[in-house]
Amino acid sequence: MASLSRESILNIFLTLAMVALPFVATAIDEPFYITLATRVAILGLAGVGLNLALGTGGLVSFGHAAFFGVGGYAAGILASHALNYTPIMESPFLIEGTNQMLIIWLVAIIASGIVAYLIGLLSLRTSGVYFIMITLAFAQMLYYFAISWPAYGGEDGLSIYVRNAFLGVNTLAPHGFYFICLGLLFGGIFLSATLKNSRFGAALQSARQNEERLSAVGVRPFNIKLTAFVISGMMTGLAGALFADLNRFVSPSMLSWHMSGEIMILVILGGVGRLYGPLAGAIIYILFEFIFGGMTEHWQFFLGLVLLGVVLFARGGVIGLIAGRARHD
Amino acid sequence: MTAALFFEQLLNGMQFGVTLFLMAAGLTLVFGVMGLINLAHGSLYMIGAFACAAVAAATGSFWLGLVASIVAAAFAGAIIEVSVIRRLYDRDHLDQVLATFALILIISEGCRFVFGSFPLFLDVPAILAGPVILPGGLPYPIYRLSIIVVGGLVALGLYLLIAKTRLGIRIRAGEADREMIAALGVDIRTLYTIVFALGAGLAGFAGAMVGALQSVQVGMGEPVLILAFVVIVIGGIGSIKGALIASILVGVVDTLGRVSLPSMFGLFMDPSAASSIGSSISSMLIYVLMAVVLIFKPEGLVSQNG
């Protein structure tokens, strides 16, 4: 045990704290904290997705709201058809809505994966500033599409009146839904740890550090980066589906560039490239919003100041501050 | 679509394109010279519009407001450059994106704190109100026409500034080789502040002119900022000429698409479906244009060295 780094100790602490939280919240009779923690878990998962592209792959995507929103709309559209007993499509074959989370997740993951593949295919032809602007622009394209497409609520968004079902779990109880989200968050963290330590992860990290060297050993950087971008988008899309279920509401604001900024901010606040960075960042972000948002409606002013301070003076985020510089690059 | 309507929409598209150019010129200049991506450029646009609205309301003169918009935005730009942006030139693009995103949050909330959440309204000055009859008998708002003319003059002025003046030589030299012009004794820090303030002033000017067509409100700069990004991706980052071509292209394609697509779909669909599908597709049109340009010319229409 003596060989555990400070970062690992912090990670274990965060894991235990997240598992213990609902029991503490119930004990002190503050069930609202469970809802806050559910938001933490969901945004954390979205951040874990972005962190794979951003931290491990060095792909500065400013358009991850696209995948978050596509996941959310996948959930919203399937659920609203199931509630209204109307099929999504009758010809050439019948597709019906569903309220089963497992199917919704699968659809959300596939849909956001396809969108990530298409956006990645075009935007990964470029790099640097072009990549940032193009991912931003394509996400914005979907945002305007969602606003002007009247079938699913347009600008007003789409309500899901009853939370969807997951096997035998009571998803309407805050506990039940929280542990589903937490389980998926840890699943996402586990997946990125596995990927990062695999051959694929090694190739992805060298794509970030030196593309020429990677091509020299016979691996095409484009394919590696595209694969990472698609997996990243799928995780964020799954988070979007959960977010829709949490709020029982989907709206174009899930696709807006503020959402992309929010996901990116929490990855940065926690620490880019750190396994638990997105979770730590989500905790800080939600706490900040909860505490300052309760005091003043201008809380984003202070968020801006904090973010500016972190970027200018505290690179490495909170985990970097606590655990010191661990990355060698 | 009749020829008159087409011509009117073409002018609207050009007016839109010209305002986009004023935004994109500053962005592309700052990227070309300093290698910086500035998300807060839309905030400078907003500052210009608010300054114009506030001064016009206080003095009753739109013209003083217009001057104020340029001064306020350029001044705000200089302050931002000296206090924050200057520290970002050596950083990677991720840090630049985050820091300038933080600036957006700060400036937007600050503006909402000072001016409130309700939009302000800015009246077109009396001399520019009303229509003018164009050759061919088509009435067209004088104000929109003057935006096209003023924007064209600014583009010309910018060209002369960069091609013919000493400052322009330094800016071009800064694009080509930063270390070298510093070694030749040019004060590069001051040059950077001037370039940033110049871009900011153009953005503020655009904000003030558009402010009289739309309402002046917090967040008004953001959609324009993203369109300006599309413009410089299409035009080629760092190229003013590319920015001019691409902004007119984007302005005209977007405007004509919004008008004509719903009626084109109406030829083979029922009218309500045609108008909803047409408007959804037309809202994506310029992004499709961007994708097509990226497929065939990933470096943009005018590459940086062209």
CATH code of the domain in which B11 resides: 1.10.3470
Structural domain span for residue B109: 3-124+140-296
- The rounded percent of chain A whose pLDDT value lies above 70 is 96
Q: How big is the A-B interface in CB pairs under 8 Å? A: 112
Q: Which of B301, B245, B257, B264 is nearest to B282 (CA)?
A: B257
DSSP letter assigned to residue B85: G
pLDDT at A263: 94
**pLDDT tens digits for B23-66?**
999 898 888 888 888 999 999 999 999 999 999 989 988 899 99
The answer, for B97 touching chain A at a CB cutoff of 8 Å, is: yes
Cβ of B105 within 8 Å of Cβ of A304? The answer is yes
* Residue B71 belongs to some domain of the structure: yes
To the nearest whole Å, the CA of B231 is away from the closest chain A CA by 10
Q: Where are the alpha helices (DSSP H) in chain B?
A: 3-34, 41-59, 62-83, 93-115, 142-164, 166-176, 178-183, 188-211, 221-235, 240-265, 271-296
pLDDT at A3: 64
pLDDT at A328: 41
Answer whether the bond into residue A221 is a cis peptide, omega within 30°: no
* Residue B303 belongs to some domain of the structure: no
**pLDDT grade for A279, boundaries at 50, 70 and 90:** very high
* Residue B135 belongs to some domain of the structure: no
pLDDT at A329: 41
**What is the number of structural domains in chain B?**
1
pLDDT at B246: 94
Give whole-number Cα distances, B179 to A33, B174, B236, in Å.
Answer: 55, 8, 24
Cβ of A133 within 8 Å of Cβ of B95? The answer is no
* Residue B134 belongs to some domain of the structure: no
Q: Above 90 in pLDDT, residue B273?
A: no
**pLDDT tens digits for A233-278?**
999 999 999 999 999 899 999 999 999 999 999 998 888 888 899 9
The answer, for A54 touching chain B at a CB cutoff of 8 Å, is: yes
pLDDT at B304: 57
Q: Above 70 in pLDDT, residue A198?
A: yes
**pLDDT grade for A148, boundaries at 50, 70 and 90:** confident
**pLDDT tens digits for A88-136?**
777 667 777 788 889 999 999 999 999 999 999 989 988 888 888 889 9
Q: Above 70 in pLDDT, residue A326?
A: no
Report the residue from A123, A128, A268 with minimal CB separation from B98: A268
What element of type H or E holds A10? helix A6-27
* Residue B10 belongs to some domain of the structure: yes
* Residue B151 belongs to some domain of the structure: yes
Give whole-number Cα distances, B285 to A53, A134, A138, B257, B289, in Å.
Answer: 28, 15, 11, 7, 6
ipTM (interface predicted TM): 0.87
* Comparison of pLDDT for A25 and A111, the residue scoring more: A111
**pLDDT tens digits for A63-90?**
999 999 999 999 999 988 888 777 777 7
Residues of B in contact with A264 (CB under 8 A): 97-98, 101
Cβ of A311 within 8 Å of Cβ of B112? The answer is no
* Residue B278 belongs to some domain of the structure: yes
Cβ of A264 within 8 Å of Cβ of B103? The answer is no
* Residue B302 belongs to some domain of the structure: no
**pLDDT grade for A305, boundaries at 50, 70 and 90:** very high
